[in-house]
Amino acid sequence: MSAAVPSLAVWKFASCDGCQLSLLDCEDELLAVAGAVRIAHFLEASSQVEPGPYDVSLVEGSITTEHDVERIHEIREASGTLVTIGACATAGGIQALRNNADVTAFTDIVYARPDYISTLATSTAIADHVPVDFELRGCPIDRGQLLELITALLAGRRPRVRQHSVCLECKQRGTVCVMVAHGTPCLGPVTHAGCGALCPAYGRGCYGCFGPMHHPNPPALRSTLVDLGMPSRDIARLYQTFNAASPEFAEAARQEERA
Amino acid sequence: MTHRTNTRVLSVEALARVEGEGAMHLTLDGDTITDLRLEIYEPPRFYEAFLRGRSYTEPPDITARICGICPVAYQSSATQAIEDACGVVIPEDIRMLRRLQYCGEWIESHVLHVYLLHAPDFLGYHSAMEMAADGHRDVVARGLRMKKIGNELLETVGGRAIHPINVKVGGFYRAPTRRELRAHLDDLRWGRDAAAETVRWVAGLDFPDLEFDYEFVALADPDGRYPIDTGRVVSNTGIDIAVQQFGDYFEEFHVRHSTALHGRRRNGGSHRDGHYFVGPLARWALQADTLPESVAAVAREAGLSAAERNPFRSIVVRAVEVLYAYEEAVRIIEQYETPERSAVDVPPRAGTGHGISEAPRGILYHRYTIDDEGTITDAVITPPTAQNQPTIEDDLRRFAGDHLHLSDAELQWRCEQAIRNYDPCISCSTHFLTLTVDRR
């Protein structure tokens, strides 16, 4: 951190705004955070915009236009620490479902005048374009993890964000395994922790919104899902949501197309 | 910004305190506005395209991701539409649980707008954080606590506030227990009092004298309550239709400067080339008489007239709606018994279904066609900001036209404020704003 009060910038690319909203949802801590950092660029919250450089940039959203390719390079250039927040920024988001489709056909379906629309054929993660110092997973990110990240950066230490699977969070929470006990298909064994194993606590299987854990094993999970009677098409759909373009989930979905 | 003889060029690169990315462009020739456009450059995300081929069970999770501020609206309209396609009517207790969840979203979204996005305009600050640091800390702290109470209700009913995980076609994965919900009552009652204070506070702000003529469109609740989760589509011009007829009366069209489609009445409607207006002012104009007397009394005291047509005063209506949302949440929880089943079965059936609900920013329409295996073959999503965009442009043209005597900096500030009156949700509508003004 270069200054006594570090500057914070928040940037948006293709996204739903939910991850930067997570910062405004830290109702108990927001005014304390606003006192500990200088909010230099955060359009959703403030019309005061300061020029860079910025000590910390939080980046939400994926890259889907030529202009945004240029913009992310400018932001990287102006930022000390660059952190990507959420599934769009870390994996391309649900809009990456276009990556294996014909984007011209997509434009034709949604827009009456496709010639008015300029878009790239792909939706890609920020790290596909510029070096990223840290990433927070999730669709949306977890508020607790965001506060830990900001606290750690202010203290000059590495954030404590665990990389194990959702399964461990179920055990910590004392939730009975929905797959073993109820035969409910669940992506928990291959999904990155961080949500606190919410879905199983509500009696549904994890749907993978935090993306792949470190070194997941989808083939092992596959045999269980098949035993539960899930057709390949449904298993593929399970991997093809908010983290569809993450290498591990993309490969797992391709396996189903071959099956 | 530059001035030439007879020519003024004014430019703002990105509008702040709105949800999403957009710009406004204003071209002036002397004292005549020759062009005014809200440019929505939020990149397209193609939801309606990639929903094709997905399972009919997936839209509640997928379409929630259109907007981080109003995911419950998407989940509500989506589930209704699919249940309609499959010919299933959900039981009343599940409907009330959905309405309760929706109250949490109205509180969270409206309080965010009133306190964090809109109030700084009236008080001359760049942000709520700046407001708090300059003598308004107690007010901002009150808003943050009100918002938190809405989010906590969302967390109990939906699992989490942003992109709730507990909603499914047919109902919920798990119904909260009576005890879990009653634990929110003390906070909700505090919130109700804080909301009444909020109405009094915003009613005392300075508003410009301004009135527009609108065709208002909102829902009419089947039980005669203030509309939130479902209802017939009604207007101040005599429309009164079931949601299944929505497409017969309203359409979307595509303009070059926006990745959001624009909404209009089919066959031209009765106002402004078919432009119509949805959201808090429309709900207030059409449904204020359904509000309980406790809420109506606070609104009267705040000086709201039967049909408010000044968009700057929408902040007062939003505050009244927050008060109602707290009151309605208390009512639903007080009557709540843990249901025997949290959801009903919705087997797939080939057909087309329609769903509609009152998102915080206005009516949100979904239509899905599914085949007999439950695969989606067609999806149409019509968000509130897309429907309002032509009206916002009309109003801005009028508003800017009346304020051309201002300096460029002042005009820019006032136009940005005017845009925020509509609480535009640009991620939604694209599925908005840089201001440039050319004075020629």
Dihedral angle over CA of B193, B198, B200, B201, nearest 10: 140
Would you state the pLDDT for residue A1? 44
Whether residue B351 is predicted with pLDDT greater than 90 in this model: the reply is yes
Q: In the predicted model, what is the mean pLDDT of residues B269-288?
A: 89
| Cα angle A45-B328-B60, degrees, rounded to a multiple of 5 | 65
How confident is the model over A148-178, as pLDDT tens digits?
999 999 999 999 988 899 999 999 999 999 9
Would you state the pLDDT for residue B412? 79
Residue A159: what are its φ and ψ, rounded to 5°?
Answer: -65, 145
Whether residue B355 is predicted with pLDDT greater than 60 in this model: the reply is yes
- Name the residue facing B65 among A12, A42, A94 (closest C-beta): A94
How confident is the model over B252-278, as pLDDT tens digits?
877 766 666 777 888 776 666 789 999
In chain A, what is the straight-line distance between the N-terminal and C-terminal CA atoms, in Å? 51
- Name the residue facing B21 among A12, A42, A45 (closest C-beta): A12
Would you state the pLDDT for residue B33? 83
Whether residue B38 is predicted with pLDDT greater than 60 in this model: the reply is yes
CB distance B61–A106 less than 8 Å? no
- Name the residue facing B69 among A13, A17, A201 (closest C-beta): A17
How confident is the model over B61-97, as pLDDT tens digits?
999 999 999 999 999 999 999 999 999 999 999 999 9
Would you state the pLDDT for residue A234? 95
Would you state the pLDDT for residue B103? 98
CB distance A15–B427 less than 8 Å? yes
CB < 8 Å to A139, chain B: 65, 163
- Percent of chain B past pLDDT 70, that is, above it, reads 89
Would you state the pLDDT for residue B440? 58
- Name the residue facing A48 among B18, B48, B127 (closest C-beta): B127
Would you state the pLDDT for residue B19? 67
Q: Is residue B5 very low, low, confident or very high in pLDDT (cuts 50, 70, 90)?
A: very low
- Name the residue facing B129 among A39, A101, A110 (closest C-beta): A39
Residue B293 Cα, gap to closest chain A Cα (Å): 31
b or e along B146-178 (b: 16 or more beta carbons within 10 Å of the residue's beta carbon)? Answer: bbbbbbbbbbbbbbbbbbbbbbbbbbbbebbee
CB distance A27–B147 less than 8 Å? yes
Q: Which of A67, A59, A117, A124 is nearest to A97 (CA)?
A: A124
- Name the residue facing A45 among B17, B52, B255 (closest C-beta): B17
CB < 8 Å to A31, chain B: 129, 132, 137, 140-141, 144
- Name the residue facing A116 among B48, B165, B254 (closest C-beta): B254
A198 inside 8 A of chain B by CB: yes
Cis status, amide bond into A53, omega within 30 of 0: yes
Per the model's pLDDT, the better-predicted residue between A52 and B9 turns out to be A52
CB < 8 Å to B65, chain A: 16, 18, 93-94, 139, 242
User: What tokens does A72 get?
Assistant: 């992310």
Q: Which of B116, B95, B228, B102 is nearest to B154 (CA)?
A: B102
Residues of chain A with pLDDT under 50: 1-3
SS3 B439: strand
Q: What is the mean pLDDT of chain B?
A: 89
| Cα angle B122-B127-B130, degrees, rounded to a multiple of 5 | 105
List the domains of chain B with CATH numbers.
Answer: 47-387 (1.10.645.10)
Task: Give the residue on A whose Cα is nearest the Cα of B108.
Answer: A25
Whether residue B426 is predicted with pLDDT greater than 50 in this model: the reply is yes
- Which of B2-6, B76-80, B191-195 is predicted least confidently? B2-6
Substitution target from B65, B72, B136, B415 for chain A, most A beta carbons within 10 A: B65
CB < 8 Å to B259, chain A: 117
Would you state the pLDDT for residue B259? 66
The interface predicted TM-score (ipTM) is 0.94
Whether residue B2 is predicted with pLDDT greater than 50 in this model: the reply is no
Would you state the pLDDT for residue B42? 67
User: Which A residues in the span 137-196 are in contact with B, Cβ-Cβ below 8 Å?
Assistant: 139-140, 195
Helix or strand (DSSP H, E) at B264: strand B262-265
Per the model's pLDDT, the better-predicted residue between B246 and B426 turns out to be B246
Dihedral angle over CA of B226, B231, B236, B241, nearest 10: -170
Q: In the predicted model, what is the mean pLDDT of residues B307-332?
A: 96
Would you state the pLDDT for residue A41? 93
- Amino acid making up residue A126: I
Cis status, amide bond into A140, omega within 30 of 0: yes
A102 inside 8 A of chain B by CB: no
Q: Which of B393, B88, B356 is nearest to B246 (CA)?
A: B356
CB distance B69–A21 less than 8 Å? yes
CB distance A106–B141 less than 8 Å? no
Q: How far is CA A77 from CA A81, A132, B13, in A?
A: 10, 12, 20
Taking the domain A7-155, which CATH number applies?
A: 3.40.50.700
User: What tokens does B21 get?
Assistant: 């990315």
Would you state the pLDDT for residue B254? 72
CB < 8 Å to B19, chain A: 17, 44
Would you state the pLDDT for residue B202? 98
Whether residue B427 is predicted with pLDDT greater than 60 in this model: the reply is no
Would you state the pLDDT for residue B15? 66
Whether residue B433 is predicted with pLDDT greater than 50 in this model: the reply is no
Whether residue B386 is predicted with pLDDT greater than 80 in this model: the reply is yes
Question: Domain limits of chain A?
Answer: 7-155, 166-258
A95 inside 8 A of chain B by CB: yes
